[in-house]
């Protein structure tokens, strides 16, 4: 079979394009460590969050060297804690659950974005850079007040984080 | 016009499709290809990876 030279060129170019696309995604996973939201957390009782060790008191706490856990409860129509205060240049794992209906958890303008399903815990780990104030929105229609459901994520300096955490102990 | 050329080549000259030389199409596809590559580099490496709070786990 005779194939025109241009035809061969187009074939090669399209194969190259596919390899580049797959290669980029592989690079993203291996290099910067981009990951998907996984189904790693066991289900919990959405009606019993008050007795849950992690979610009865939504908070941010240190769980390792430069590693923080933020326990967040989404509800109609807001997020707790509000604002969510995390330190700069650290690794933060958000554990988010809902006490009523399905919500969204999207830190506006960033890649931190997951669904929040009652009875399930969504776990996402992100790396923070410098101090910044992010908006936090619900991106799943959750009822009449969906459009006003918002929160804040404040990335603050280490000193400010410690000050806030030690100052108002159970605030 | 391209079809005519192709038909002409196949009837007149069995092995002669090398004469069919759609350089305009080649250039156009080349330009599309470059646009695709630049768009992908921009979308993935700059817009997506360059955003804050990249999800790592």
Tens-place pLDDT, residues B16-53: 566 788 899 899 999 999 999 999 999 999 998 888 88
pLDDT in tens, A11-24: 999 999 999 999 99
Which is nearest to B40 in space by CA: A110, A29, A31, A24? A24
The Cα A56–Cα A76 span in angstroms is 16
**A 82-111 residues with CB < 8 A to B:** 91, 93, 107, 109-111
- Residue B16 included in any domain: no
- Residue B44 included in any domain: yes
Q: Which residue has the tokens 């006003």?
A: A148
So what's the ipTM on this one? 0.71
Cα A161 to chain centroid distance, Å, stands at 20
Q: How close, in Å, is residue A7 to chain B by CA atoms?
A: 10
Residue of B nearest to A1 (CA): B15
Question: Considering CB atoms only, which of A5, A21, A128 is closest to B53?
Answer: A128
- Residue B2 included in any domain: no
* A120-124, A135-139, B5-9: the lowest-pLDDT one: B5-9
Whether residue B13 has pLDDT greater than 60:
no
The Cα A115–Cα A120 span in angstroms is 10
Confidence of residue B56 (pLDDT cuts 50, 70, 90): confident
* A51-55, A58-62, A81-85, B3-7: the lowest-pLDDT one: B3-7
The Cα A105–Cα A126 span in angstroms is 13
- Residue B1 included in any domain: no
Q: A105 or B7: which carries more pLDDT confidence?
A: A105
* A31-45, A106-120, A146-160: the lowest-pLDDT one: A31-45
Residue of B nearest to A6 (CA): B26
Residues of A in contact with B19 (CB under 8 A): none
For residue B33, what are the domain limits?
Answer: 25-57
**Helix (H/G/I), strand (E/B), else coil: A70:** strand
Residues of A in contact with B17 (CB under 8 A): 2, 4
CB contact under 8 A, B56 and A126: yes
pLDDT at A161: 87
Whether residue A140 has pLDDT greater than 90:
yes
N-term to C-term CA, chain A:
77
**B 9-48 residues with CB < 8 A to A:** 15, 17-18, 20, 22, 25-26, 29, 33, 36-37, 40, 44-45, 48
Domain count of the fold of chain B: 1
């Amino acid at each position: 079979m005779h194939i025109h030279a241009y035809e061969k060129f187009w074939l090669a170019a399209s194969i190259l394009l596919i390899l580049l696309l797959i290669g980029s995604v592989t690079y993203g996973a291996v290099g910067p460590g981009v990951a998907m939201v996984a189904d790693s957390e066991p289900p919990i009782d959405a009606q019993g969050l008050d007795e849950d060790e992690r979610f009865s008191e939504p908070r941010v706490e240190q769980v390792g060297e430069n590693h923080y856990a933020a326990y967040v409860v989404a509800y109609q129509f807001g997020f707790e804690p509000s604002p969510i205060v995390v330190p700069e240049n650290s690794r933060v794992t958000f554990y988010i659950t809902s006490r009523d209906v399905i919500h969204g958890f999207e830190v506006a303008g960033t890649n931190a974005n997951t669904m929040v399903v009652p009875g399930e815990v969504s776990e996402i780990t992100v790396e923070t850079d410098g101090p910044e104030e992010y908006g936090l929105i619900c991106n799943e229609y959750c009822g009449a007040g969906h459009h006003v459901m918002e929160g804040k994520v404040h990335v603050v300096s280490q000193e400010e984080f410690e000050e806030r955490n030690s100052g108002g102990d159970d605030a | 016009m391209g079809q005519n050329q192709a038909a002409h080549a196949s009837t007149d000259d069995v092995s002669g499709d090398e004469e069919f030389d759609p350089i305009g199409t080649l250039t156009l596809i080349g330009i599309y290809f470059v646009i695709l590559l630049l768009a992908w580099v921009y979308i993935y490496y700059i817009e997506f990876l360059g955003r804050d709070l990249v999800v790592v786990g």
